[in-house]
Amino acid sequence: MRDDERSTEFVAFTRAHRPDLVRTAALLCAGDEAFAEDVVQTTLTRLYLAWPRVRRADSALAYARRSLTHAFIDEARRAHRRRETTMAEPAAAGSEPVGPEADPALREVVLAALAALGPRQRAVVVLRHWHDLDVAETARILGCSPGTVKSQNARALAHLREHLGALDLALEVC
């Protein structure tokens, strides 16, 4: 594959899907925008290096999201100690919400709830409830068993319900 062809395709992909990856990364990183940007940059570099594989994938975006999740877990493991302090005040780490239903109070509570989850639990929440992946696909991406995904998901949702219940979001976990 020629280098200019790879670069053209990469730029087109990045232009189309970078915002999606950043939004996903922001969730994975519990609103730490700088960390999220690091993870996205790492992911895009990995995608470029493995571009022939990205092209062969059924869905380049799905491949990218999987790569993003791996990059996040790698980085979270390395950065865990360093970031503990900053994650203690997650609401201060992000930007202001936008859109007609922007709700700063909700954002603050959600950030705190996500920040209190472990990286893999957060990944389960994002993959299952943001990207709507099923248990089997989530397990495949995270390299664990479906049973582990189910238990992590149940614990994470119970935690979110506890935190978000005060906002009367009618979250119910069963």
Cα dist. 74→43, 67, 78 in Å? 11, 11, 6
149 in contact with another protein (CB under 8 A): no
Least distance from another protein to the Cβ atom of residue 49, Å: 4
Number of residues lying near another protein (CB under 8 A): 65
Q: Select from 58, 53, 43, 62 the least CA-distant residue to 133.
A: 62
Compare residues 30 and 149 and give the one whose CB is closer to another protein.
30
CA of 64: how far to CAs of 91, 101, 128, 153, in Å? 27, 29, 16, 22
DSSP code at position 166 = G
The structure tokens listed for 44 are 């895009």
Of 90, 150, 93, 103, the closest CA to residue 125 belongs to 150
Place of tokens 């049973």: 147
By CB under 8 A, the residues from 47 to 106 that bind another protein are 47-50, 52-53, 56-57, 66-67, 70, 73-74, 77, 94-99, 101-103, 106
Sequence-ordered list of residues with C-beta below 8 angstroms from that of 170, at least 6 positions apart, any chain: none
122 binding another protein? (CB under 8 A): no
Does position 114 interact with another protein (CB under 8 A)? The reply is yes
Q: Taking CB under 8 A as the rule, does residue 119 contact another protein?
A: no
Q: How far is the CB of 93 from another protein (least distance, A)?
A: 10
**Contacting positions for another protein (CB under 8 A):** 7, 10-11, 14-15, 18-19, 22-24, 26-27, 30-31, 33, 41, 44-50, 52-53, 56-57, 66-67, 70, 73-74, 77, 94-99, 101-103, 106-107, 110-111, 114, 125-126, 129-130, 140-143, 157, 160-161, 164, 169-174
